[in-house]
Structures are given as C-alpha cells and as structure tokens.
C-alpha cells in the first residue's frame, strides 16, 4: 500500500507516476483516495498488451465520474438512454458507439475533410502572420490561438459550420466561450476526481460551474444540429459521398439527438486534446531544428508547388513527418495514461488483483522505458520507420487500443498533418526564450507562453 501523496500538485501527476516506478517497481497500488477505488499502476508493456487483447466488447474505462453524473443524473432529461461515448460504459456505450462508429472511422469520410481542414489551416496561418511582433515572435497567448484553430476544425467536422474563430473582425464572443468552457470542463476533471468528492453530495461552487459549462455545450450543439437538419431537408443528395459526417449520422439514424451528442463529445474532448498535442509538437519542432528541416525537406519533395491543394495521397507520403509526431507522443505523451476497471479478478505481474480495481497504464512512463524502447532518451523519429531496434507496440499508445480506441483519432491525425504540411512548407519555427517545462492540466504539454518565432523560408 502506497500512502496518498499530499505534497504534490495535480500538475505534477506525470512526475509522481515516474517516482512510483523508480521507488516501487513495475506494479504499484495507490490507496486511500476518498470516494473512489484503489488505483493500480502497471509499468509493464507485456502485461498492458495482454490486458488489452483479452478484454471483451464493452471494456470499462475509468474516467470522468463528474461527466457520468452530469449525463446520467443532472441532464438525464436530455441524454436519456444513449448518453454518448465519453464518460459512458457498458451496453449504453456499445449501443451509441455502434451508431456513430462507421461514419466517423470510414477513410472516405476523413478524406472528404482534407480540403475543409486545409482552408481552416490557411486562415490560421494568415492569422499567425499578422499576430507576429517585430522579431517575428508569436504572442504570449499563442496557445489560445491554437485552441481557436482546433475549435474551427472541429466545428467544421462535427457541426458542419465555420464558427468564425479565426476571423480578425469577429464580433461574436461565442468561440472563446466554447474554448474556455472546454478547458474548464477537462482541466477540472482531475480536481473533481482526485480530491474529496463533496460535489457528489452537495452542489459545490466548482461543480455548479462545471454544470453551467456543460449546459452551455448542450445548448450550442443543439442549435447547430438543428441548422444542419434544415439544410439536409433541402439538399439534393445523389450518393452517400455527398454527405458530411454530420449528415451521414443524421441520415442513417434519423435521430438528431444522436448527432447532437456525438458533436458534443467530439467538441468537449477534442479541443483541448488536439490543441495541447499541437503545442507540444510545434515546441519540439522549434527546439529540434535538425529534425524540423528533415520534415520541411520531405514536405517540399511531396509538395513542390506550395499553392497546390493538398490531397489525402499527399499526406500519406509524409512518412518522416508522421514519425516525428509519433516520437513526440512517445517521449512527451499528451495523454499521460489510459486504464481499465477490472471486470473480473486477474493476475497482473504475478499478483492476484480483485475485480473493481482501477488499473492505470501510464503511457508517459512506459514509452520512455529502456526495457521496451531502445535508447528511449534519444529523440529519434527514424525509429518508427525502421524494422530493427526495440520498440514495444504497447509502450506508447496515444489513442488507446481495442474497442475503446479514440473515436476521433483519424480526424486528429488529419488536422495535425495538414497543419505541419502547410506551416513548415513556408516557414521555419524557432524558439528563443527560456526552455519550457511540461506539466499536466488535463493533458501533458509545455507549461508557459509558447512564443515561437515564425520565419519565412
């Protein structure tokens, strides 16, 4: 039994998980958390693989009890029996996911969004150009600008609309309110989960604000879904290929609430997750100029004409650029871990573990262990393109694995690849300020102003 660690802040959670491995070994039990089961940290990629591969069709992923309460109690009137895929488990989760999985994961659906995401990204780069100071440094609040780009991309995918996040003369405060609400909802999950859960019994100020944020999301998504329904009524459709993601779900299910809840989940989880991943990727590119130049050379080779529109085939050829992203995720995993609640007793690392224990797979640690990765402290994207060397496929899983693998992963990859292709084709990124430490909000990302220097090539 490991005592509760009271001397650490939640932002240091990644540091704590590393300390557990160093002090206690490859399996660590953390007990004494008020109002929740024990946590079992497993630092063994072989065991993680075994557990993933043997799970059934409805694995239970312990996450966001605050969102579970909101969906199942506070707004049961809205969510009903199909509350989505985030913070939902069991048969309810399986039924909802089966309704939206096919349109979201079909490659043809993702390919349809290359041009729309490229258009959003071109607007973002113009936005960045104007935001630079005399030294060509981007502003202190550049991470918020990345959130605006991310929201504009997600809005185009999940809501079928341009929200105007990147418009220089935008008068509406709605986009920033969405970003602030998403940040608040996700970044307070750890506070609500790991500290004394008084909110489960009385409406604490933090819980009240969380509920108000979620109500805002529901109201906003419903408005845009209703607008999409009206457009669909008058749209002449000759084949399924003419339909957007939103329209595919609306047409196949006929229930606008399914599409509304799908959009809600994509926006809620997607904005901060993708934004923090991009902050980390751009920071690493700006501080690793040799690897950045390799990406730029590859992009120029694939895209000799910078004005030619991108295609899915072009992006598919950016092998080194994709490897760079994977290496960033390995060394600085945006998602610090994944996990499962045991549905039956199990034997893990030789110990009998009872049903109900929440098992944590700390990706931020296992991706940097010599046991599973050759020379893990060396940043080397080439490792993802080589057949030799030690690289355990379950040591670094940024999107999870199996039935509960991230539903929006293909769109996340698309947005990241389009941004790198368009940005590094024309600009070199540099960083000339104090090095940034990484910290946990909800994600693991650079902590501090991301003042990148953006210079024309």
| 228: its two tokens | 């999409």
Give the pLDDT mean for 30-34: 77
What gap in Å lies between CA 139 and CA 433, rounded to an integer?
Answer: 12
The predicted pLDDT at position 235 comes to 75
For residue 357, the tally of other CB atoms under 10 A from its CB is 19
On whether residue 447 sits in a domain, the answer given is no
- The answer to whether residues 25 and 121 belong to one domain is no
What gap in Å lies between CA 13 and CA 16, rounded to an integer?
Answer: 5
For residue 325, the tally of other CB atoms under 10 A from its CB is 25
Question: HEC states along 111-143?
Answer: HCCHHHHHHHHHHHHHHHHHHCCCCCECCCCHH
On whether residue 194 sits in a domain, the answer given is yes
The predicted pLDDT at position 336 comes to 87
On whether residue 172 sits in a domain, the answer given is yes
Q: Residue 19's domain is classified under what CATH number?
A: 3.30.43.20
- The answer to whether residues 75 and 219 belong to one domain is yes
Give residue 7's pLDDT band: very low, low, confident or very high (50, 70, 90): low
Give residue 197's pLDDT band: very low, low, confident or very high (50, 70, 90): confident
- The answer to whether residues 83 and 35 belong to one domain is no
The DSSP secondary-structure symbol of 201 reads T
Residues ≥6 apart with Cβ < 8 Å to 32: 1, 3, 4
* 344 burial via Cβ count (<10 Å: 0-12, 13-18, 19+): exposed
Question: HEC states along 352-406?
Answer: EECCCCEEEECHHHHCCCCCCECCCCCCCHHHHHCCCCCECCCCCCCCCCHHHCC
What gap in Å lies between CA 244 and CA 251, rounded to an integer?
Answer: 10
φ, ψ of residue 292 in degrees (nearest 5):
-65, -40
On whether residue 253 sits in a domain, the answer given is yes
Percent of the chain residues topping a pLDDT of 70:
95
Give the pLDDT mean for 407-430: 96
Model pTM score? 0.94
Q: Residue 245's domain is classified under what CATH number?
A: 1.10.630.10
The reply, when asked if residue 349 is annotated as ligand binding, is no
Number of domains in the chain: 2
On whether residue 71 sits in a domain, the answer given is yes
- Residues 147, 175 contacting (CB under 8 angstroms): no
- The answer to whether residues 243 and 313 belong to one domain is yes
On whether residue 5 sits in a domain, the answer given is yes
Which residue segment(s) compose the domain that 283 sits in?
Answer: 61-330+403-424
On whether residue 266 sits in a domain, the answer given is yes
On whether residue 456 sits in a domain, the answer given is no
């Amino acid at each position: 039994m490991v005592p509760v660690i009271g001397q650490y802040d939640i932002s240091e959670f990644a540091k704590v998980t590393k300390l557990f491995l160093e002090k206690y070994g490859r399996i660590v039990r953390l007990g004494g958390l008020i109002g929740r089961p024990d946590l079992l940290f497993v630092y063994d990629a072989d065991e993680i693989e075994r557990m993933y591969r043997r799970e059934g069709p409805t694995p239970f992923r312990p996450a966001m009890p605050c969102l579970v309460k909101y969906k199942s109690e506070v707004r049961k009137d809205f969510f009903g029996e199909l509350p989505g895929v985030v913070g939902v488990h069991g048969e309810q989760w399986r039924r909802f996911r089966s309704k939206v999985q096919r349109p979201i994961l079909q490659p043809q659906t993702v390919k349809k969004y290359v041009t729309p995401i490229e258009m959003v990204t071109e607007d973002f780069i113009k936005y960045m150009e104007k935001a630079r100071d005399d030294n060509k440094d981007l502003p202190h609040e550049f991470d918020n600008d990345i959130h605006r780009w991310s929201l504009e991309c997600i809005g185009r995918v999940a809501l079928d609309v341009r929200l105007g996040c990147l418009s220089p003369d935008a008068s509406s405060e709605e986009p920033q309110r969405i970003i602030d609400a998403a940040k608040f909802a996700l970044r307070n999950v750890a506070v609500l989960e790991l500290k004394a859960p008084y909110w489960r019994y009385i409406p604490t100020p933090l819980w009240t604000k969380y509920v108000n944020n979620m109500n805002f999301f529901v109201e906003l998504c419903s408005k845009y879904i209703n607008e999409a329904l009206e457009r669909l009524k008058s749209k002449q459709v000759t084949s399924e290929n003419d339909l957007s993601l939103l329209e595919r779900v609306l047409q196949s299910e006929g229930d606008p609430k399914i599409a509304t809840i799908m959009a809600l989940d994509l926006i809620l989880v997607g904005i901060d997750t993708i934004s923090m991943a991009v902050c980390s990727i751009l920071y690493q590119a700006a501080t690793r100029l040799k690897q950045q130049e390799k990406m730029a050379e590859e992009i120029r080779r694939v895209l000799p004409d910078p004005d030619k529109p991108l295609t899915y085939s072009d992006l598919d050829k950016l092998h080194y650029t994709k490897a760079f992203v994977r290496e960033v995720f390995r060394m600085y995993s945006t998602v610090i871990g994944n996990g499962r609640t045991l549905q039956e007793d199990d034997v893990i690392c030789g110990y009998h573990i009872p049903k109900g224990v929440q098992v944590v797979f700390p990706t931020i640690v296992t991706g940097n262990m010599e046991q599973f990765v050759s020379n893990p402290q060396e940043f080397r994207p080439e490792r993802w393109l080589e057949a030799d060397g030690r690289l355990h496929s379950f040591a670094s899983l940024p999107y999870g694995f199996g039935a509960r693998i991230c539903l929006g992963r293909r769109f996340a990859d698309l947005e990241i690849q389009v941004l790198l292709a368009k940005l590094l084709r024309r600009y070199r990124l540099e960083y000339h300020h104090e090095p940034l430490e990484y910290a946990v909000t909800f994600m693991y990302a650079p902590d501090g102003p991301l003042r990148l220097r953006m210079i024309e090539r």
